[in-house]
A and B are shown apart, each in its own frame.
Chain A
Amino acid sequence: MTTPHLETLHIISKSPSHQQLYTDMLSATLENDAILLTQNAVYTLTCLQLDALIESANPVYALTVDVEAHGLANLTNDDVTQISDEQFVELCCLYKKTISWF
């Protein structure tokens, strides 16, 4: 079994109302790229915009601490993997590079 080559981890921290930022990020996203929702970007879990993210990136992650802090713990989604701070660090090491969108 071969594990896919992990390319870019896109880290986004702005709320979904920053549409251009999301558009830019999605147009920079290719196969084997992942997206991580941090800070106000976790509000994406509440919007339809989330579908576009799930479609473009595999997988989509969200930082548990931000999800819970923003009161979104009840909005669990099978397509979004929640991760701890430690796993965040791990992911940054696993992927070839990270790009922050803010």
Chain B
Amino acid sequence: MLFCYLTEPLLLVINQMKKNLLIIFRHPPFSSTNNRESLDIALACSAFDIPVSLLFLNDGLLQLRNQQNSQLLQQKSLVNNFKALAMYDIEDYYVLENDLSHYQLTEKDLSLSCKVINQEKMAHLIREFDTVINL
């Protein structure tokens, strides 16, 4: 798995330099393993006291939709994992207002309470972080 190759050297580098990390989720649920791997990276980094924030960009937003039923597809949903992130001190989640309106969603339809930002703010958010992972 990608996660195994990435994480160990990455953790060493980031932790040594006391960097913060932004992870961008861009894929819809059930489509690929990228989302789960991104989540694994988030949890691993948080375990090493690296501050982690998450950005759900375009289709990535769909992962947070309420009322998903992954059992119908014999898959595990990531929703519960996302809900548990607060226990790992990962509490900053960002979504774009454009993406919300594109999919006719409001903050109430999401399983996490997210900060809603516009595209311009997103570019500046990305700039603020030392490291960005975009799987």
- Interface residues, chain A, with chain B CB atoms under 8 Å away: 7-8, 20, 24, 27-30, 97, 99-101
B130 within 8 A of A: yes
Q: Is there an interface contact between B58 and A24, defined as CB atoms closer than 8 Å?
A: yes
Of A28, A29, A97, most buried by chain B (CB within 10 Å of CB) is A28
B26 CB → nearest A CB, Å: 7
Interface 0/1 of B18-46, CB less than 8 Å to A = 00000000100000000000000000000
Q: Is there an interface contact between A30 and B127, defined as CB atoms closer than 8 Å?
A: yes
Q: Pick 26 A–B contacts, CB within 8 A, sort by A.
A: A7-B127, A8-B126, A8-B127, A20-B58, A24-B26, A24-B57, A24-B58, A27-B119, A27-B122, A27-B123, A28-B122, A28-B123, A28-B126, A29-B123, A30-B123, A30-B124, A30-B127, A97-B129, A97-B130, A97-B131, A97-B132, A99-B126, A99-B132, A99-B134, A100-B134, A101-B134
Contacts of A99 in B (CB 8 A): 126, 132, 134
B102-135 interface with A by 8 A CB criterion: 119, 122-124, 126-127, 129-132, 134
Of B58, B122, B127, most buried by chain A (CB within 10 Å of CB) is B127
Contacts of B126 in A (CB 8 A): 8, 28, 99
User: Main SS of the interface on chain A?
Assistant: mixed
Measured CB to CB, the nearest residue on chain B to A29 is B123
Measured CB to CB, the nearest residue on chain B to A96 is B130
Contacts of A20 in B (CB 8 A): 58
Measured CB to CB, the nearest residue on chain A to B19 is A97
Contacts of B58 in A (CB 8 A): 20, 24
